[in-house]
Amino acid sequence: MRKRGFHLISGLVVLSVVGLAVWLGVSSVSTLATLEPTGPGEPTGQASSGTEIVNPMRGQYRWGGTNKWGSFEGQLFPSAGNPGYRAEQQWPGAKISYYRFTWAEVQPDQDDFSFARIEAELEKATTRGEKLGFRIMPADNCCAPMPEPLTVLPGWLTGLGVNQWTYRGFDAAVVVPDWNNPEYLAAMTALIAKLGEKYDGDPRIAFIDMLGYGNFGEWHSYPMNQEYPRNPGGQNEITPANLKALVEANVQAFRRTRLLSFTANPEALAQAMAARSDIGIRMDCLGDATGGSALLNIMANPAATVRWTTAPVVTEWCGANFSQTAEIPAGSNFDFFRADVGQDLYRVGRGQVDRWHVSLLSSGNFPFAYNGGVMAEGQWQDFVAANTMSGYRYSVAAAGAPVRLPGSNRVQVTTTWTNSGVAPTYDAWQIVLELRLKGSPTPIASTVSVLDLRTLYWGDGDGGLAPVQGRRTMTDLITIPDSAPAGDYEVVVRVRAATAQPDSAGTAKLPGLGLDTAMPQLGKAEYSAGSLAINR
SS3 assignment for 402-468: CEECCCCCEEEEEEEEEECCCCCCCCCEEEEEEEEECCCCCEEEEEECCCCHHHCCCEECHHHCCEE
Average pLDDT, the chain: 82
Q: What is the pLDDT of residues 364-388, one digit of tens each?
A: 888 777 666 678 889 989 999 999 9
Question: What pTM was computed for the model?
Answer: 0.87
Asked if the model's pLDDT at residue 46 lies above 50, the reply is no
Residues 358-370: pLDDT tens digits?
A: 999 998 888 777 6
Lowest-pLDDT range of 3-7, 53-57, 327-331: 3-7
> Can you give the pLDDT at residue 503?
66
Average pLDDT value for residue range 245-257: 98
Please determine, for residue 526, whether its predicted confidence score (pLDDT) is greater than 90.
Answer: no
Axis-axis angle for helices 182-199, 240-253 (nearest 10): 20
Burial of 68 (0-12, 13-18, 19+ CB in 10 A): middle
Could you tell me which residues are beta bridge partners of residue 476? 413
Q: Which residue has the higher pLDDT, 520 or 187?
A: 187
Closest CA to 251 of 308, 187, 196, 306: 196
Angstrom distance (rounded) from CA 91 to CA 94 = 9
CA-angle at 423, arms to 463 and 214, nearest 5°:
75
pLDDT for the residue numbered 310: 96
At residue 142 the predicted structure's pLDDT band, cuts being 50, 70 and 90, is: confident
Higher-pLDDT residue of 520 and 269 is 269
The pLDDT value given to residue 2: 32
DSSP letter at 226? G
Question: Could you report the per-residue pLDDT of 316-354, keeping only the tens digit for each?
Answer: 999 899 999 999 999 999 999 999 999 999 999 999 999
pLDDT of amino acid 492: 93
pLDDT of 206 reads 97
Distance CA(355)–CA(213), nearest Å, equals: 29
Q: Looking at the predicted structure, is the pLDDT value of residue 35 above 50?
A: no
> Within 13 A of 487's CA, how many CA atoms are on the CB side?
13
Residue whose C-alpha is closest to residue 396's, from 532, 526, 531: 526
Give the model's confidence band at 161: pLDDT under 50 very low, under 70 low, under 90 confident, else very high: confident
Q: What is the mean pLDDT of residues 213-237?
A: 81
- Structure confidence at residue 185 as a pLDDT band (50, 70, 90): very high
Long-range contacts of range 215-218, CB-CB < 8 Å, 24 or more positions apart? 215/139, 215/140, 215/141, 215/174, 216/100, 216/137, 216/139, 216/140, 216/142, 216/284, 217/100, 217/135, 217/136, 217/137, 217/138, 217/139, 217/140, 218/262, 218/264, 218/284
pLDDT at 223: 84
> Poorest-confidence range of 151-155, 244-248, 271-275?
151-155
Measure CA of the first residue to CA of the last residue in the chain; give whole Å: 46
H/E run at residue 378 = helix 377-389
Concatenate the DSSP letters of all residues of 483-514 into one string.
TPPSEEEEEEEEEEESS-EE-TTS-EE--B--
pLDDT of residue 30: 26
Question: Over the stretch 166-182, which tens digit does the pLDDT of each residue have?
Answer: 887 666 678 889 999 99
- CA dihedral sign of residues 32, 37, 40, 41: positive
